Amino acid sequence: MPKEHKKRGRREEQKKRKRDHDHVDAAPKRLKKEDDVELESIENGEAFHHEPVDVTRPGELTYYGMLDDEEQEYFKRADEMLELNQFEDPEARNLFLASVYKEADGKELKIANSQSCSRLLERLILLSSPDQLKNLFQKFNGHFLNLVQHRFASHCCEALFIHAAPVVTLELAEPQTLQTPPSSDPNAIIVSMESLFLYTLAELEEHLGYLMTDRFASHVLRVLLVVLSGAPLAKENKNKSVLQSKRKEKVGIAGTERGQDWVLEKRPVPKSFLEALEKTINASASTLDTANLRLLATHPLGNPTLQLLLKLELAHFGKSRAKDENSIIHKMLPDDPIAEGTESAAFINGLVYDPIGSRLLETIIESAPGKLFKQIYSEFFKERMGSLSRNEIAGYVAGKILERLGKDDLDEAMRQIVEQIPNLVERNRTAIIKTLLERCIARNVDISLIKDQLEAVYSGPNGFEVTRILRVSESPAENLKQNGKQDHSPEKVHGSLLAQTMMAVDGPLGDLIFDSLAKLTPELSVQLARDPTASRTLQAALTAEHASVIFRRKMIQQFYGHVGELALDPAASRVIDAVWHGTHGLAFIRERIAEELAENENSLRESFVGRAVWRNWRMDLYKRKRGDWVKQSKYTAGNDGFQSFPESNGESSTTPPHRQSHAQNQRGGKHMSAIELARQKHAAKAVEAKKREAQTDKKMKREKKDKHVGVAESSKGKEKASVVAQ
């Protein structure tokens, strides 16, 4: 039976949108294991609203109507033009924005609720002036409770809050800007952005308990709390899921210097914002009792909001609030002391292995006052660090604990975890090993036990093998079979990060990686450079502070004959960029690589990544004025150009260049070429000539001074004689 014909454009539109909601009548899809949490965050969001929580529930969402076909077509075209951003100049774009705002006047609520046009409103917000943002704020005023709960309008509210936040800081620094009425409408009401935010919070505060677990409003509420606190909001935030859904579509403008959405710097905020934030936190704590707060701890939508409230409470209002009976953290952990057998102990033990609750426990460990943390650690985790590190979920809790331990406790925890390293490597849980290494280095704890275990676990027939950490097979066919969709698998990423952490340590631990990389065959080195994850380790190795000249020379020589093809690969091209820095002190090798790039000029110029490599290596200068390029290259690579290698002097291959030269100078056995000896001799002659010239000048000045003194004394004697004669 033939299948029903579906419109391709509509299907692609829905695929591109990637919102957090599936149609109610659609059959549920089978999700991967790692997406279970996301499935719960969608399906359990509404289920939680039927829990017996004493919160004020808003009424039904208001329907604002639909745009007609002509309006939808106009706004779709406007959205496409803004996305492409192909205007002649900023003035032309501003005129276009003004015309779109004029056409959208009175229809803002319809546009925000429209599946096809809400993206336009988000892009408008990215490019709007402060006055335009204020105007949109006023159009939404009184409707925020409905908008934040809507599938599409909630994204517009998030964008509006983020891009209006810097305006508050600007008005705080320059209050006079509020006195200028808008020229387009002299009768318009002048209101500060600070007041608009406070009006919005006042509109939502009655229903905070409900909004904390709403599938759309919870994200908007978190963003609003961050804006009120003045905390930074970075696009690359490691805790992005606390504020934003992982499935949120990235709406941006082509050609912008950086992603304008989801970026906020740390900024000063008015006192009224902090007062409103404190009031909101207190209201949240008073609305929910201990039982309901603990229920939120394992709720997929309530948990991130609870994390944020807890962080803001302790960061902005002092860790002494932990003693306040009405604070959030005291309501969750009311027992003092927290000992086995208490409800607080049962709550903590329940969070450790819970995929959602463990995130809140991480926040408690990270933000809790020192006294409370020490109490929790000694009571629940001190003797369990080894077993915690083995668990897929509890391992992240153990990592947060390591970050707060002092030297003695860290040493004890390290000995427990070291015993588990073979098991951890077998289960591909190397993130905890990386954290342990970083903390031991920071606290000056001996890492020889860690080094011995890692060397034993990752050793093969040829000794320590870095390919085992990076999960790269020597068989190209097997590697292709493994890679496919796993180029950025967590196991490979964590292995690469562990290798980079090891290289950052000066000594035997870092030598394991450097020596293993230097022993790779040219084919395997090229394969490593092409791997999107493993290539990061190569980049770090070539630019590492502790990488010796000998290692860098051997590693770079592995790429001879493959430089052109590597420069065209998206991953390997970054390795070629790193070779520029890796040839410090190796000007001759740098010139050798440039020759290969020049031989592949045509193919490089036809490729986007190839053009980037060409530009980074300054190859236009190389082609036009090779002599100037060589001079600059030798200057940046080291004034001595191609340096000799101290292998015959017994230097370790891992001794950095500056330490090698220092040791050689101390022994007085530095080998110098003929031209270097000539330069040294010429410099010595110049110094001697300057000394002789200075001595001559000094002698002449002294003679002049003596002569002047003699003439003066003679004239004084004549004056005295004439006076006596008179």
Whether the pLDDT of residue 639 is over 50: the answer is no
Most trustworthy range by pLDDT among 322-326, 420-424, 721-725: 420-424
Percent of the chain predicted with pLDDT > 70: 74
In a domain, 660, yes or no: no
Tokens of residue 196, six digits = 């608009």
Query: How many Å apart are CA 514 and CA 503, to the nearest integer?
Result: 7
pLDDT digits (tens, 9 = 90+) for 245-263: 555 555 655 545 444 445 6
Tell me the CA distances in angstroms from 321 to 297, 335, 442, 541, one per residue in order: 20, 15, 30, 46
The pLDDT value recorded for residue 677 is 64
Whether the pLDDT of residue 273 is over 80: the answer is yes
Query: How many Å apart are CA 295 and CA 289, to the nearest integer?
Result: 10
In a domain, 268, yes or no: yes
Q: Is the dihedral of CA 390, 393, 396, 402 positive or negative?
A: negative
Query: How many Å apart are CA 564 and CA 580, to the nearest integer?
Result: 15
Give me the chain's average pLDDT, please.
80
Please state the domain count of the chain.
Answer: 1
pLDDT digits (tens, 9 = 90+) for 665-676: 443 344 455 566
In a domain, 661, yes or no: no
Domain that holds residue 109: 69-179+189-252+259-283
Banded pLDDT at 243 (limits 50, 70, 90): low
Residues 56-71: what's their mean pLDDT?
A: 83
In a domain, 74, yes or no: yes
In a domain, 465, yes or no: no
Q: Which residues pair with 460 in a beta bridge?
A: 463
pLDDT digits (tens, 9 = 90+) for 479-527: 544 544 445 788 999 999 999 999 999 999 999 999 999 999 999 999 9
In a domain, 153, yes or no: yes
> Are 573 and 613 spatial neighbours (Cβ–Cβ below 8 Å)?
yes
Cα 332 versus chain centre, distance:
31
The pLDDT value recorded for residue 696 is 73
Q: Is the dihedral of CA 392, 311, 321, 202 positive or negative?
A: negative
Tell me the DSSP string of 641-669.
Answer: -SPP-GGGGT--TTS-HHHHHHHHHHHT-
> Are 568 and 603 spatial neighbours (Cβ–Cβ below 8 Å)?
yes
Burial 653-683 (b: 16+ CB within 10 A, else e): bbbbbeebbeebeeeeeeeeeeeeeeeeeee
Tell me the DSSP string of 397-437.
Answer: HHHHHHTT--HHHHHHHHHHHHTTHHHHHHTT--HHHHHHH
In a domain, 199, yes or no: yes
Phi, psi of 460 (to 5 degrees): -130, -160
Query: How many Å apart are CA 272 and CA 175, to the nearest integer?
Result: 15
pLDDT digits (tens, 9 = 90+) for 450-470: 999 999 999 988 889 999 999
In a domain, 431, yes or no: no
Task: Answer with the residue of higher pLDDT: 3 or 127.
Answer: 127
Angle at which helices 193-204 and 217-229 pack, to 10 degrees? 140
Query: How many Å apart are CA 9 and CA 157, to the nearest integer?
Result: 27
Q: Which residue in 551, 539, 542 sits closest to 645, CA to CA?
A: 551
Tell me the DSSP string of 449-512.
Answer: HHHHHHHHHTEETTEE-HHHHHT--SSHHHHHHHHTT-TT-HHHHHHHHHHHHHHTSTTHHHHH
Phi, psi of 464 (to 5 degrees): -65, 130
Query: How many Å apart are CA 149 and CA 591, to the nearest integer?
Result: 61
